[in-house]
Structure 1
């Protein structure tokens, strides 16, 4: 059957701001509630205080802005200043998905790509086959909303 490839999506928005300013914003998980339509707050946990690989935080989520509210554990998987900030969602070693931001200085500002990838396990593949198209569109709308809200702040 071969290796299952990660399933996901991405959205890119250009911001008229230095990459350092964009990095500071996307890597500060405590500010996500200002921007995300689903994650309305987050806080560093387990002694973490900032974006470094291995740092842990939890996000307070309300899926699609409705439904149950829950906390989800996250672990920073990549924290390369001014380049990429990425985190896995789920318990240690059992991430359900990965979210991240790639940044590149471009055209007098920064192109920012927010992306998500589902873990390529059989149960996530099944989920994606059944709900992927709908969830993918919802995630893409949410990522665009998040990035546009960040853009408004970082360009102000």
Structure 2
């Protein structure tokens, strides 16, 4: 597994609720901050107040080994009751030249909903790269441990996705 290959992680859950209710929750950018072990706060940028392609928001993150940092994310896809996707950008040039193009994001996050009779299957996923990130900087210092570093980071992200989806399930079914 190599960073250049765009490693990914996914977690899925069945939610016994109507698709509009599940959509309302997954498309709320504030919700993951209430449930994630890493993302702690978000705020809309540029006057945006709701998810729409091109809208941007800041994420405030915290990790016991990494510390605190902020990211800027740009919403890429909003397909009601089907898909919500955003790209995390290095607009400040923290890891190299500033990046504002979602195609060069440091990560891409996605919720995909598959409504069915009596439930919605929700997949939450992340693809790392192709843009430079904190993980790629660590890999550059320890290239012989690239696979281990990626696996460890994906496991952390999967844990966060599980917490977020379990929280969404509890809210939607409650």
TM range (shorter): 0.7 to 0.9
Counterparts of 1:122 and 1:17, CA distance in 2: 38
- C-alpha distance 75-122 of structure 1, shift in aligned 2 (>3 A): closer
Contact 1:56 1:74 in 2 (8 A): yes
3-state SS of 2:30 partner = helix
After TM superposition, the runs of 4+ consecutive aligned structure 1 residues lying more than 4 A away are 121-124
Q: 2:116 aligned with 1:106, yes or no?
A: yes
Task: State the Cα distance separating 1:140 from its structure 2 match.
Answer: 1.1
Mark the CA change 1:5 to 1:66 in structure 2 (over 3 Å): closer, same or farther: closer
CA RMSD of aligned residues (A): 2.1
- The count of residues paired between Structure 1 and Structure 2 equals 152
Computing the radius of gyration over CA atoms, which structure comes out larger, 1 or 2? 2
Higher strand share: 1
Q: How does 1:63-102 map to 2 (within 5 A)?
A: 63=63, 67-90=66-89, 91=91, 92-93=100-101, 94-102=104-112
For residues 87-130 of structure 1, the C-alpha deviation after alignment (integer angstroms, 9 at most, x for no partner) is: 00112124101011000112411110000001235884x84535
Q: TM-score, normalised by structure 1?
A: 0.88
**Structure 2 counterpart of 1:146:** 164
**Shift in Å, 1:149:** 1.1
- Aligned match of 2:128 in 90, 99, 118? 118
Structure 2 gap segments, 5+ residues each: 92-99, 140-145
| Contact 1:7–1:120, Cα closer than 8 Å, also in 2 | no
